[in-house]
Chain A
C-alpha cells in the first residue's frame, strides 16, 4: 500500500526539528493579545513556532494558520506575509499550522481569516524584511537606506549587487526585531489586491491535493460505524456474528459518539482491513435499540409547535421607542409569517479521520477540520488528556461550511484507535453525513410593521421562533444566552426603523444543530428582506427606491451597496414582459453583500432565474478573483437551500439519506452572475466567505413576487411550481 502522509503540500513537509540553527524565525509571541515579534535561532524557533522560516539553503516556509476549505486562505493568508517579505508565493512552501497556541486563532470561520490577519501578518512579513535588509547592509558595510528587498533578495542600489535571503539569514537572526516595521504603501503591492493564482489549484486539478480522507499511516485499520438512526436512542444489545464472518473484518467495538458538550450517542464500529470490508461488516450487524420515545418525533409536529409559539411573547432582544403603541396607532398595518427549513452542510468530502495513539496518553490525528486548535481542544477535553498531548495534522478540507467546526469524527477515530490499539481510519458514508447532523436549524419569523400615511415606517417588529444551535450542543448554553445568536443581524440593519422591538422565542429540540455558512443570517435575511419588500409594496413604492430613499436617508455602506446594485442592474430600465426583479441586502457579523435577481415566468407556473447581480462590500480586497468565486459559491449554496427540499424528521430519524433525496443544485440550474466588489479603503475590512449567502434567497423571492404577484413566505419553494 502506498503511504500518504504528507500534509497539504506534497512539495515539502518541513520538520521544524530538522532545521539548521541558522534559520530565521519570526512570529507572534506566545503571550496572548500581544503582537510583539520575536526572533531567534532554531532552538528558540521550536518554542516560538514562527510564521516565517528561512533556511540557509534559501528555502522559505510560510506558516499558514487558517485551514483551506475552498475559501482561498491557502493563498490569501500567506500572501499577507509574502507581500511585505518581498517573496512570491510560488517560491515558498506553505505549511498549515498544527494548533500551537503561538499562532493564535487557527480556526477558519466567521469570514475572519483575512480581516483578522491583515495587519498582524503584514507586520510579521515587514519585520523580517527589515531584518534581512539590515543584515545585508551590515554584511556589505553600507548604510541601510541604500539597500532594498525584492524577489527574496536584498539589493544594494548604488552597485546593483545582491544577496539571497538564505545568505543573510544567519546575520539577520542576530538582529533585534523591529517592533513597528514600516508597512508597504498599498500602491506598491504586487500580490495584495490583485487576481493572484492560488497555489492549491494545480494540486486540485491533478488529484495530488491531499484531503483527510486520503491519509494512510502504517499499520492502519479501517472503521465503519453504525450510529443509531434515531436521535437519543440507547443500544440494548447487538450481535456481530454475521459481521465477523465477512472477509477482512477484525472485530467490533461498542462506544459512544460524542458531539458538542452534551450529546452522546451509542454506536458500534466494525474494524477491518479495508474500508469496504468494514462497511460490509457494518451492514451485517444486528442492532437492538431502545428508542426511549424519541421515535415519536417528527418535523411536522415540531413546526406546528413553532407556529403556536409565535403567538407567545418572546425575550426582547432589541427595544427602541414604543413599538406597541406606535403599531396600534399606525394607519397601515402589515403582518407576515415566514418559515425556513433545517438543512445539511453536505460537504463533498464525508467526515473522516485517522487517529493513532503514541503510548497511553498521547494521540495524533490526521484530519480535515476547520481548525487545528479546535481539534486539539476537543480531543483533550473528550479524551481527558492534556492539550499538548494531542498532535493534529490538518489537510485540505473537502468542503466544510461549518460542519468541520464540530470534530466529533476526530473524537470517534481517537476513541476507536485506543480501543483496538492500532491506528484507525474512520470514514463516514454519505448516508451518515446526511442523517447524523448537526444541522442548520430552521428559523420561523413573525413580522409586523406599522406604516404612516406618507409610506414611512412607524413601527417594526421581527420575532424569531426557533431552536437554538448552542443549546443543542451544550448544557451551559440556554435560551437566554442564545437569543442574540438566533436573532443575528435583525436589529442591526441600517434601515431607519423607529419604534422597533425584536423578540426571540426559544423552542427546545433534541436534535443537534450547528453553525452553517452564514449561520442564522442564512435564514433570517429571507424573512427580514422579504418583509421589507412587503412594506414597500404596502407603501406603494418601488422596493429599491423604498430602501434607498425612505429607509436609508443617511450614508452607510449598506446604502453604497444598494446604490451600486441599482446601477449595475439598470434597476429602472423596463424588463421584458413576464419578467421581474428583486433586491435584497443583509449586513451581519461576517460582512455585507446584496443581490438583484431577475426572473421570468415560464409556462405552467414555473419561473426561470435569468440573471443575478451581486455586490459585496469589503473595504479592502486581497484577491478579487477569490472573492468572486466565494460569491459564486455562496449564491449556489443559497439557491440549493432556497429551492431544494431541506432536512426533515420522521419517526425520530432523518428522512433524507443521500443526494437523491437531499438534492444539491447542479450545473444546469445556475444562472449567469455578475459580481462587483466594493473596496474603497477605510479602516474596517469585511469578510468574504459568508456574506454572499443570506441576501440571495430574499432577492430571488422578491423577484418572484415582482414577476408573478406571488409572495413566497416559506423556504424551500419550487421554481417549477409556484401555484
Chain B
C-alpha cells in the first residue's frame, strides 16, 4: 500500500491503496463517490468515464499511480452543484435515461465533447460518444440532448452554476 493525494471535484483526498488500483475503484470504494460506474473494466463501455484535466477518460483502466498526475479529476458529482449543467438540463428535458446506469459516463463524455466542440455535428457526436454503450438504447435521445445542450449554451446559458470545472 502507499499513500496518494488526488484532487477530485476540487477537493483533495488522501488515499491509502495499491498503486495499481484503477481510479474507478479508488473513486467508488476509497473516496465514496459512487456516481462513476463499473461496466466492463476494459475501457470498452464508457460507464466509468471521468474528466482527467478536462479530458474524458476511462477510469477503469487508469491506475491510481498514473491518476495522481492529473491536476484535477472531475466526476459526475462534480459537474454542477444543483443538477443544472446545460448537459444535465438537456438530459432532463429530453428524459434521456432509462435504467440510468450508463448515464454518468454518457454525460461525462458529452460534457467533454461540448467543451471542445460547442456545436457538434451528428458525425462528431457519433465519433465522441461511440465509446459509451447504452444497453437500454437511449442513443437517439443522447444525440438530441447533445444538440439541445449546444443550443442552450449558445443562447447564453451558463454551463453550470458551480461545477468543479
Q: Which residues of A pack against B, CB within 8 Å?
A: 1-2, 4, 68-72, 197-198, 200-211, 213-214, 222, 247-248, 274-277, 280, 346-350, 396-401, 427, 429-430, 625-626, 629, 632-637, 658-660, 664, 666-668, 670, 672-673
Contacts and interface: CB of A to CB of B under 8 A. Distances in A.
Given A70-B100, A399-B99, A667-B130, A673 B140 contact: yes
Nearest to A672: B140
Given A197-B95, A668-B126, A634 B37 contact: no
A1 B76 CA distance: 19
Contacts of A429: 41
A658 B25 CA distance: 19
Contacts of A672: 140
Contact of B135 (A198, A247, A280, A637): A637
A101 B130 CA distance: 44
Interface of B: 1, 17-18, 21-22, 25, 28-42, 44-45, 47, 75-77, 80, 83, 88, 91-92, 95-104, 107, 125-127, 129-130, 132-143
A692 to B, nearest CB: 10
Given A659-B42, A667-B125, A632 B137 contact: yes
A430 B139 contact: no
A632 B83 contact: no
A635 B137 contact: yes
A204 B135 CA distance: 15
Contact of A633 (B75, B76, B80, B136): B136
A653 to B, nearest CB: 19
Contacts of A4: 32, 34
A301 B134 CA distance: 33
Given A222-B29, A430-B44, A666-B133, 6 more contacts: A197-B92, A200-B97, A346-B135, A633-B137, A667-B142, A670-B137
Contact of B42 (A69, A347, A660): A660
A346 B45 CA distance: 12
A670 B44 contact: no
5 contacts: A70-B136, A214-B34, A347-B135, A635-B137, A659-B42
A670 B32 contact: no
A204 B104 CA distance: 7
B103 A204 contact: yes
Given A201-B91, A275-B25, A660-B42, A348 B97 contact: no
A203 B45 contact: no
Contact of A71 (B36, B47, B98, B127): B98
A398 B102 CA distance: 8
B38 A427 contact: yes
Contact of A207 (B77, B91, B136): B77
Nearest to A197: B95
B135 A399 contact: yes
Q: Which secondary structure dominates chain A's binding surface?
A: loop
Contacts of A673: 140
Nearest to B26: A276
A276 B25 contact: yes
B18 A205 contact: no
B140 A347 contact: no
A427 B40 CA distance: 12
A668 B127 CA distance: 8
Nearest to B99: A70
Given A629-B95, A632-B138, A348 B130 contact: no
B95 to A, nearest CB: 6
A641 to B, nearest CB: 12
Given A205-B91, A347-B101, A658 B37 contact: no
A69 B135 CA distance: 12
Query: Most chain-A Cβ atoms within 10 A of its Cβ — which of B33, B36, B44, B129?
Result: B44
B77 A666 contact: no
Closest 7 CB pairs of A and B: A207-B35, A636-B137, A2-B32, A398-B101, A204-B100, A70-B99, A70-B98
Contact of B96 (A205, A396, A398, A637): A205
Nearest to B143: A667
Contact of A349 (B18, B32, B99, B140): B99
Contacts of B92: 197, 201-202, 205
Given A247-B1, A429-B41, A670-B139, A198 B95 contact: yes
B141 to A, nearest CB: 7
B88 A399 contact: no
Contacts of B30: 1, 274
A659 B39 CA distance: 10
